[in-house]
Amino acid sequence: MTTTIHTINELQTQIKTWKNSGFVIGLVPTMGALHKGHASLIKKSAETCDKTVVSVFVNPTQFGANEDFSKYPRTLDKDIQLAEENNADIVFAPSSEEMYGKNYNKDFMTLVCPPYDLVNQLCGKTRIGHFDGVATVVTKLFNIAQPDYAFFGQKDAQQLYIIKKMVKDLNFPIKIIPCPIIRESNGLAISSRNQYLTQEEKQKALSISKALFTIQKYYEQGITDAQTLFDTAITVLDKDLELEYLNFIDYETFKKTDIIKQHTLVAICAKVGSTRLIDNIIT
Ligand code: PAF
């Protein structure tokens, strides 16, 4: 049975009871609109931990002024059902006021700002302030839920890297568990934003994962030059897509690399119509 909690106070009371009983606590932070990708995180937490908290909060501090905050899908009843099916114990669904107070103002609050070198590339290059918002809300959720483990999807590879770094730098006693990207059978990475796509756009969006799989294939055949792989992938991308980036990043240092080797993150972002999609592979 999954209990839904809306206040920090109530969640903390429950967490205290669990801690006193020695339970291992898992946290799955989400913005709701839960899908198979989230289900895999919740399932993993329920298998790993005694108790699982799923937070559902569309976090205003990580959206830019021209982004999709107001239209982001909010489907709490369905989310609770999916959380329950995957053995979550609590769905924590606070209001914005509960998280940030009455007169929320991003310019007048303490923010957690990840290192500039990590933020100023891939998504952070165009989503100014996005990772400050992510790091801040994740810090708040960690402080509120006091988890032993927290589960994040590999699809948001830059976010995952930044959170791992934050946990290390700020000494959070939390183990971050990365979980693999879940794809449709046709290869499309599952995302809450796929809901925005028309059927035709969905077909076009397929070329994003196809481009990544092409890179993987040529890399496995021995091609390691980033420019050659980039040029080949570009030919696979649907011509109607607006490519924001296709970058090759050393996933140990998070620096761009010209030569692909093991543990290179190949990350792509493209707009299909007005929907911005991201995907990646790690070689
Ligand atoms: O990945 C997400 O859904 C969000 O960025 C997160 C981690 C829940 C923070 O709001």
Nearest CA, atom 6, ligand 1: 30
With the CA atoms of 124, 130, 133 and 139 taken in that order, what torsion angle do they form, in degrees rounded to the nearest 10? -40
Active site residue 6: no
Mean pLDDT of the chain: 97
pLDDT, position 184: 97
pLDDT, position 229: 98
User: What is the atom index within ligand 1 of the atom nearest the CA of 55?
Assistant: 8
| Band of pLDDT at residue 75, cut at 50, 70 and 90 | very high
Q: What is the pTM of this model?
A: 0.97
Ligand 1 centre distance from Cα of residue 176 (Å): 14
Tokens of 258: 């010209």
With the most atoms of ligand 1 within 8 angstroms of its CB, the residue from 62, 91, 96 to mutate is 62
**256-280: pLDDT as tens digits:** 999 999 999 999 999 999 999 999 9
Confirm if 138 and 55 have CB atoms less than 8 A apart.
no
Q: What average pLDDT does range 193-222 have in this prediction? A: 97
Q: Considering 6, 38, 130, 263, which one is annotated as catalytic?
A: 38
Q: Which helix (H) or strand (E) holds 250?
A: strand 242-250
pLDDT, position 267: 98
Ligand 1 centre distance from Cα of residue 137 (Å): 8
Nearest CA, atom 5, ligand 1: 134
Indicate the residue type of 90.
I
| Band of pLDDT at residue 6, cut at 50, 70 and 90 | very high
Confirm if 2 and 88 have CB atoms less than 8 A apart.
yes
| Band of pLDDT at residue 127, cut at 50, 70 and 90 | very high
pLDDT, position 69: 96
Ligand 1 centre distance from Cα of residue 21 (Å): 29
| Band of pLDDT at residue 141, cut at 50, 70 and 90 | very high
Instruction: Reduce the DSSP state of residue 118 to 3 states and report it.
Output: helix
| Band of pLDDT at residue 88, cut at 50, 70 and 90 | very high
Nearest 5°: the CA angle 59, 11, 139 is 45
| Band of pLDDT at residue 78, cut at 50, 70 and 90 | very high
**48-73: pLDDT as tens digits:** 999 999 999 999 999 999 999 999 99
pLDDT, position 10: 98
Q: What is the 8-class DSSP label of residue 7?
A: -
| Band of pLDDT at residue 214, cut at 50, 70 and 90 | very high
With the most atoms of ligand 1 within 8 angstroms of its CB, the residue from 31, 61, 158, 179 to mutate is 31
Residue ranges lining ligand 1, Cβ < 6 Å: 29-31, 59, 62, 134, 137-138, 156, 159
